[in-house]
Amino acid sequence: MAASGNNEVFAPWKDRDAVPLIRIDQITKRFGDFTAIDNVSLDIYPQEFFALLGPSGCGKTTLMRMLAGFETPSEGRITIDGVDMASVPPNKRAVNMMFQSYALFPHLSVWDNIAFGLRRDSQDKDQVAARVEEMLKLVQLSQFARRKPHQISGGQRQRVALARSLAKAPKLLLLDEPLGALDKKLRQETQFELMDIQEKTGTTFVIVTHDQEEAMTVASRVAVMNNGQLVQVETPEVIYEQPSSVYVADFIGDVNLIEGSVAALGEGAELAWAEGRASLIGQLGAALSKGQSATFAIRPEKIAISSDEPLDRRNRVRGKILDIGYLGNLSTYHVELPEGPVVKCEVGNRSRIERRDFTWEDEVWLSWSDTAGLVLAR
Amino acid sequence: MRRLLVAVPYVWLVVLFLVPFGIVLKISLSDIALAIPPYTPTLDLSEGWTGFKAFLSQLDLENYVFLTSDDLYWKAYLSSLQIAFLSTFFTLLVGFPVAYAMARAAEEWRPALLMLVILPFWTSFLIRVYAWIGILSTEGFLNQFLMWTGVISEPLTILNTNTAVYIGIVYTYLPFMILPIYATLEKMDGSLLEAAEDLGCSRMQAFWLVTVPLAMPGVVAGCFLVFIPTLGEFVIPSLLGGSDTLMIGKVLWEEFFNNRDWPVASSVAIILLLILIVPIILFQRNQQINKEADQ
Amino acid sequence: MKIKFATMTAVVALCASSAFADEVRVYNWSDYIDEALLEKFEAETGIELIYDVFDSNEVLETKMLSGGSGYDIVVPTGDFLQRQITAGAFQALDFSKLPNAENLWDLIKDRTAQYDPGNAYSINYMWGTTGLGVNVQKVTEILGEDAPIDSLELLFNPENMEKLAECGVYMLDAPTEVIPAALTYIGEDPNSFDTDLINKAGDVLLGVRPHILKFHSSEYINALANGDICVAFGWSGDILQARDRADEADNGVEIAYNAPKEGALMWFDQMAIPVDAPNPEAAHKFLNFIMDAENMAAASNYVYYANGNAASQPFLEEDVIGDPAIYPSAETLEKLYTPVPYPPKVQRVVTRLWTKVKSGI
C-alpha cells in the first residue's frame, strides 16, 4: 500500500536480492522470569511501512524499544543498515521514535521541539531553521510554530511529535501507538496523512499498534504478535484472506469459527462438523492430515443469505434468525444453526429502500463458495 | 454564600497581614517612651476626630532617618541578604540531588523516602537546632568522629561561626527545597528523557536540556521558600552563630528587647518587609505562571 | 426594671469575682523554686496556683510594658524593676497584708531600695553575683598554678585571654552586666552614665573580643559542665549549677565560681504585683507565704541562691549558707555593687557599643 503509486508492486520481501534495512536475528528478551520476546527473527526492508500488531503485553512495544535502543536484547542480534546495534546507544542510532505520549518538551515551543534533535547535530543555524520550516510545512503547522505544546490541540501535538521525529531524516522511524490518543474520526484522517508523509519522505516506518484496522490501513506488511512470538508476517490482504491460524483469523476482523475434523483433503479440504450433515468445503490454510481436528473459518461478508435453498452451492446450512443488526452501510444477521453454532452474516445495503426480506425467527439458508472459507489447525 | 467564600482569603489578608502591618507601621512612626505601652503617641479614640488628628500629627519618620545614621543597619541587611543567598544556594546544591534521587527511586520506595524527608518536622525545630550544637561543638560528635578516623588531629571550630549558621539553615530548610523540586520531578514524564536521548542527547545533555528546565518551577519555589524565612532568621544564628554573625533578625531583637525601642525596632521590621516584598511578589508570579502552564 | 438590671450586674460581678477569687497566677524564672512549695501554698490557702516560667528579663519586660499580662506576681531583676516601676507597671504593696515582711534582711532591703525606693513595690526573692566560672584544671594548665581565677585580670587582660582562647571563653550577652565589670577593671565607677567612660570600657572589651568564643547568657552552663569551654563570665547560680552538673556527670570537669575580688555586680530578683493584676488579694497571700522563714529557706536550699530573708537563715542547709559563692563574706559583700538602669539615651550608646563589641561593626 505504501507504494501504491507505482505500477510495480512494492514487495521487496519477495525479492531474493533485496537487502533488509533491519535484521532482527533470533532475539529473546527476558525481564526477570518473564519472557517478553521469545526467539523472534524478522527482516524489514527500506521504505516499508511495517506494523507490529497484537494485544497489550504481546511484546510488540518491547521489540520496538529494542530497535530504538532503550532495551537491550537478552539474546540475539539486531542490525540496522548492516551495523550491529549491540553497543550503539539510542542517541547514536539513525533511528527516531514517536512516543505514544508524544513526549513533547513542555518548556519548548513547537519550533524548538522540532529543532531539538537538529541542534544536537551541531548543524548551523540557517540549516536548522530551514529544516524546521520544511517539517512545519510537511505537517501543516507553520502558523503554530511559536506556541507551546499545551497551547495546541491533541491532533496538532501528534503532528508536532511526528515532525520532530522526522526532522533528523532518520533511516527508520518508530511509531508507538501514534494515533491512540486521537478520537476515531481524526484517527482515520491521520492514518492517511501518515501514509502520505511516509511516501513523501521515503522513510522506513515501523508502527506499533493494537488496533487491527489501523495496521491494515497503513501497513505494507503486518506482523501479528502473541505471547512474545510472531504468529504471522504478511501483507494486510494475506493476513485477512489467508490467516495462518485461528488466532490471526480471530484477531483480524470478524470471523465465524466452526469446529470439526478433516474429512478429506484434495484441492481444498473438507471438514466434518456435525452428524449427518454435509462436510464444509474450504481452502486448506495449514498443513493438516485426515481425521485431525480443525476449525473452519469463514468471514461474515462472504456468506450469502436466502430463503430458498441455494442448491448450486455445496456449502449451505439452514438456521433461524436470532438477531438482526442494522449498521447503515450493512446489515448483520445472527443465524442459529440447529447443530448449535451461531453464524454471523453480513449483507451490504446497496439500495436505499431496504427490502426487509427477513425478520426474526425466519428460517433461512446460508451459503458460501468453496474458496471462501479456510480450514485451519485448531 | 459564594460571596462569603470569596471573602475568606481577603478577610485572612486583612486580619493576619494588613492589620498587624498597620500596627507595626504606626509604631515605627512613633517615639520611644517609658510607659505602658513604651511609645508615644497612642491613639485615644475617646477624643474622637480631633484626637485622631492630634495623633496623626505626632507621627514622623524620625526612626527611619535614624536607621540611615548608623551603618550597623544597612550592614546587617546586607549581611542577612548574603547569608540568605548563600544558604539558599547551598540548600539547592544539597536538595536537588536528593529530590532527583527520590524521583528516580522505585515507585514503591517513594512514599517511604518522602516520609523520611518530612519526619524531622515531628520533632521541635528548636530541639533539632540544639542537636547541632551537640554535633558541631569542639567536643562534639563530629570532631570526635573526625579525630577518631584520624582526618584531623586538632578539633575544628565550627560551632559559633558562620559555617555553623549555614549548616543549621541548610539542614532546617532542606525539606522546603526538596519537596517542591521532588513534586515537579516526580510528575515529569519519563518518556521525555527517552525522547531527548532518541533525538541525540547524551544522558548528561538530556539532564541539562530537559530535566533541569522542567524542574525550574520547583527550584524557584524551593529557593523562595528557603530565602524568604532565612532573611529574617533569628533562632539559628543566635544558637549556632558566633558573636560576629550579623543578621537583621538579631538587630531587630536587640532594638526591641535590649534598647526597649519599639519604634526603631518597628522601622527595622518594616524595611525588612519591604525587602521581602520583592521576592514574595516574584514568587507569587512564578506560582501563577506554573498554574497557567498546568492548565 | 432598674432593680432587675442592678441584680443582673451583681450576679455578673459575683461570677467574675468568684472566677478569680480562687486562683493566683505567678510568672517566675525557670528552675527557680521548689515545686513542693507550690503544693504547700495551695494546701494552706485553698487558692489555685498557676505557675508559668520565663528565662529572660527582656521577655518579662515586654509583657509588662505591653500591659494585660494577666499575672498576679512577676519576678523582674532590680534594674528592670526600676524601669517598670517608672513606667507604672506595678502597684504598691499593702504591707498590712504582709506580716511576714518583718523577716526581710535589712542589708538586702537597703540595697534594693536603690531600685524600689522604700521597697514600696517589691520584696526580694533571691539575689546573687556575677562573676567568673572557671574550669580549674584547664585554666591552671594554661596559665599556671597562680592563674588569677578570682580576678577580672583573667577576663580583661588580653595576654591571659589570648592563651585562654584555645580552650574557650564565654561571656554573658548582657551589656548591663559586662560594661560595669569592665569599668571596675579600669578603676572607674561601675555605674557611670558618662558615655566617654563607657566607651573606654568598650575599648577594654574590644581588646579581648577576638579571644571570646561566644556572647550568650545561658549556654555557658552546659558548655562549662561538658568541658567545652574553660572560662565563663556569668551568674553565680548558673555557674554553681554547671559545677553540680559536672559533679553528677562525673566527667572529671571541676568548675569553680568566684566573684571578682576587684568588685562584683550584685543582682536582685524582686517579686512584684502588676498594676493590672486580676487578683491582688491572692497575690499578697502568696507574697506573705513566700516570706515565711521556713518556706524561703526551702526555696534557697533547692535552687542554691541566697535570699533576702534574714529569718530564713537558721533553716538553710550548711552547703548553702556556708558556701561563700552563695553567701559571700561580709568583707566581699562590701565590694559588691548594685547596677542602676541606664536612661534611654545611654542605653542606646551601651547597646550600640555592645553590637560593636560582638560583631566588630
The fold of C129-266+339-359 is: D-Maltodextrin-Binding Protein; domain 2 (3.40.190)
- Phi, psi of B253, deg, nearest 5: -60, -45
What cell was used for C19?
Answer: 472566677
A84-115 pLDDT tens trace? 999 899 999 999 999 999 999 999 999 999 99
Q: How many residues does chain A have?
A: 378
Q: Can you spell out the DSSP letters for C214-236?
A: EE-SSTHHHHHHHTS-SEEEEEH
Q: What is the pLDDT of residue C14?
A: 41
pLDDT band at B293 (very low <50, low <70, confident <90, very high): low
End-to-end Cα spacing for chain A: 31
Chains with 3+ CB–CB pairs under 8 A to A are: B
Which candidate, A1, A373, A38, places its Cα nearest to that of A198? A1
Could you tell me the domains of chain A? Answer: 12-246 (3.40.50.300), 254-377 (2.40.50.140)
The fold of C22-127+267-327 is: D-Maltodextrin-Binding Protein; domain 2 (3.40.190)
Per-residue pLDDT for B69 more than 60? yes
Of chain A, the percentage scoring pLDDT greater than 90 comes to: 49
The interface residues of chain B toward chain C in range 56-95, judged by CB-CB distance below 8 A, are 70-72, 75-76
Is A204 within 8 Å of A127 (Cβ atoms)?
Answer: no
* Proportion of chain A in helix, strand, coil states, percent, rounded to 5: 25, 35, 40
Domain boundaries, chain C: 22-127+267-327, 129-266+339-359
Residues of A in contact with B293 (CB under 8 A): 106, 148, 150
Q: What is the pLDDT of residue A351?
A: 66
Of chain A, the percentage scoring pLDDT greater than 70 comes to: 96
B167-215 pLDDT tens trace? 999 999 999 999 999 999 999 988 999 999 999 999 999 999 999 999 9
Using alpha carbons only, what angle is made at residue A277 by residues A276 and A280, rounded to the nearest 5 degrees? 145
Q: What is the distance between the alpha carbons of residues C150 and C80, in angstroms, rounded to a whole number?
A: 28
Is B166 within 8 Å of B172 (Cβ atoms)?
Answer: no
Q: What is the distance between the alpha carbons of residues C175 and C350, in angstroms, rounded to a whole number?
A: 7
Closest CA in chain B for residue C359:
B244
Mutate which: A64, A72, A91, vs B, most B CBs within 10 A: A91
What value does the mean pLDDT take over residues A117-122? 87
Q: Tell me: cis bond preceding B180? Omega within 30 of 0 counts.
A: no
Q: Which residue of B199, B205, B214 is in closest CB contact with A107?
A: B214
Q: What is the pLDDT of residue C347?
A: 86
Q: What is the pLDDT of residue A8?
A: 67
Interchain contact, B38 vs C361, CB within 8 Å: no
Q: Is B186 exposed, middle or buried (0-12, 13-18, 19+ CB in 10 A)?
A: middle
Would you give per-residue pLDDT tens digits along chain C (361 residues)? Answer: 334 444 444 444 444 444 445 899 999 998 888 899 999 999 999 999 999 998 788 889 988 988 889 999 999 999 899 999 999 999 999 999 999 999 999 999 999 999 999 999 999 999 999 999 999 999 999 999 999 999 999 999 999 999 999 899 999 988 888 999 999 999 999 999 999 999 999 999 999 999 998 888 888 998 899 898 999 999 988 899 899 889 988 888 999 999 998 999 999 999 999 999 999 999 999 999 999 999 999 999 988 899 999 999 999 999 899 988 899 988 888 889 998 888 888 988 898 898 888 877 7
> Three-state SS for B276?
helix
Interchain contact, B200 vs A164, CB within 8 Å: no
pLDDT band at A121 (very low <50, low <70, confident <90, very high): confident
Per-residue pLDDT for A4 more than 70? no
Q: Which residue of B197, B199, B214 is in closest CB contact with A106?
A: B214
Q: Can you spell out the DSSP letters for A229-264?
A: EEEEEE-HHHHHHS-SSHHHHHHSS--EEEEEEEEE
Pairing assessment for the beta strands A172-176 and A95-98 based on DSSP bridges: parallel
Q: What is the distance between the alpha carbons of residues C59 and A188, in angstroms, rounded to a whole number?
A: 77
pLDDT band at B158 (very low <50, low <70, confident <90, very high): confident
CATH number of B63-294: 1.10.3720.10
Mutate which: C66, C275, C361, vs B, most B CBs within 10 A: C361
Q: Which residue of B189, B201, B216 is in closest CB contact with A103?
A: B189
What value does the mean pLDDT take over residues A55-68? 92
- Is it the case that chain C and chain A have 3 or more CB pairs lying under 8 Å apart? no
Closest CA in chain B for residue C57:
B257
What value does the mean pLDDT take over residues B122-144? 89
Residues in CB range of B271: below 8 A, 6 or more apart: B64, B67, B73, B77
A262-306 pLDDT tens trace? 888 877 888 888 877 888 888 888 778 888 889 999 999 999 888
- Put simply, whether C351 touches B (Cβ < 8 Å) is yes
What value does the mean pLDDT take over residues A143-168? 92
Q: What is the pLDDT of residue C4?
A: 41
Mutate which: A61, A105, A151, vs B, most B CBs within 10 A: A105
Domain boundaries, chain B: 20-60, 63-294
Q: What is the distance between the alpha carbons of residues A243 and A233, in angstroms, rounded to a whole number?
A: 10
Which candidate, C75, C79, C158, C152, places its Cα nearest to that of C114? C79
What value does the mean pLDDT take over residues A366-371? 90
- Put simply, whether A165 touches B (Cβ < 8 Å) is yes
